[in-house]
Chains A and B, each alone.
Chain A
């Protein structure tokens, strides 16, 4: 916080202890990689307009590779997970208070668009650009 200097000086020793606790918990988690789930990464998902039975109104494309992000954002947040600095802080705070503060979220960090060509009810044709439809990269936020 940019404000609240009083609060920062007040009870100064307590946060230091809790951060130390968090770091110990981080070390413990890092020492037990076997129990950790799969890390945050991009998974394949192809949306097929043909398989959805929409060929009578969607002219193009036949479908598109959408992808999605899934996996755990837990320490060690290595470069593969493309974690932000905020994600690292979020993980620390989660260790301090795991019941109320969630872990960082595995979510898209890069998104791209597609365009879809389709008929409307009046047989007019619409070409629409949809932004942020395709996951390019995932990361921990």
Chain B
């Protein structure tokens, strides 16, 4: 099998506490970032539409035109769907650009689909997340068709404003 994100940190960030291994029957949602087409063309197009010196400046795409440009190939869609269905995963949603697939399945199914993954629950204050503490992999047949699988490693993070807690009188 192939590791799509060998350099992704699996360290649990400060403040998060491990609670339990997730029961195999619990649902998880996996996000598959499907390989897009013509990304180089998209880059050239953005360079043109964003450069005030270009004749194409401001000639933006509609979402439908963007979908036609970068949407995944039939081969990618077919290979990934076959792979998911072989593992009994049918409950999937896509987006208008067709390049993300979000699928709901049981944790035990997800662990079979993504060898190496093991789902655990972590909490921080009122927040609770399910993540894998170990790296996942995918079969070599689908690896060329997926950029990464979301919902396994990255913990929620955001910038916090810096402030004094004092309130005005």
A and B form one complex: no
Interface residues of A (CB under 8 A from B): none
**Chain B positions near chain A (C-beta within 8 angstroms):** none
